[in-house]
Amino acid sequence: MTDLVRRAEEWLAQDPDPETREELRRVLDDGDTAALQDRFGAKLEFGTAGLRGELGAGPNRMNRVTVMRAAAGLAARLGPGRHVVIGHDARHNSDVFARDSAAVLTGAGLRVSLMDDHQPTPVLAFAVRHLGADAGIMVTASHNPPRDNGYKVYWGDGSQIVPPLDEEISAAIDAVGPVGALPLGGAWETLSDAAITEPYLAAVTALPLGEARDLRVAYTPMHGVGGELLLRAFAAAGFAAPSVVEAQFTPDPDFPTVAFPNPEEPGAMDLALELAAKTGADLVIANDPDADRCAVGVPLPGGGYRMLTGDEVGGLLGEYVITRTSGPGRLVAASIVSSSLLGKIAEAHGVRHAETLTGFKWIVKAGDGLVYGYEEALGYTVGGDGGLPVRDKDGVGAALMIAALAAGARRDGLTLLDLLDRQARAYGLHATAQLSVRVDDLSLIAGAMARLRSAPPAKLGDHVVVSAEDLAAGVDGLPPTDGLRYRLSGGARVVIRPSGTEPKLKCYLEVVLPAGNAGAPGGAVADARARAEDALSSLRAAVAATLAL
Active-site amino acid positions: 142
C-alpha 343/C-alpha 269 separation (Å) is 30
C-alpha 113/C-alpha 217 separation (Å) is 35
CA distance readout (Å), 218 to 151, 245, 435: 31, 8, 29
CA distance readout (Å), 138 to 121, 135, 225, 392, 542: 7, 10, 13, 12, 40
Q: Which residue from 479, 499, 501, 502 is spatially nearest to 163, judged by alpha carbons?
A: 479
State the Cα angle at 280 between 276 and 281, rounded to 5°: 55
C-alpha 147/C-alpha 55 separation (Å) is 6
The secondary structure element, H or E, covering residue 442 is helix 442-454
Query: At residue 257, what are phi and psi to the nearest 5 degrees?
Result: -100, 0
Q: Which residue from 153, 73, 58, 150 is spatially nearest to 108, judged by alpha carbons?
A: 73
Angle, to 10 degrees, between the axis of helix 341-348 and the axis of helix 310-323?
A: 10
Residues across the chain: 549
**Is the distance from CB of 473 to CB of 467 less than 8 angstroms?**
no
CA distance readout (Å), 240 to 168, 201, 350, 395, 398: 47, 16, 35, 18, 17
C-alpha 286/C-alpha 96 separation (Å) is 27
The secondary structure element, H or E, covering residue 134 is none
C-alpha 461/C-alpha 465 separation (Å) is 10
Q: Which residue from 309, 303, 293 is spatially nearest to 536, judged by alpha carbons?
A: 309
| Residue 469 burial (C-beta neighbours within 10 Å; 0-12, 13-18, 19+) | middle
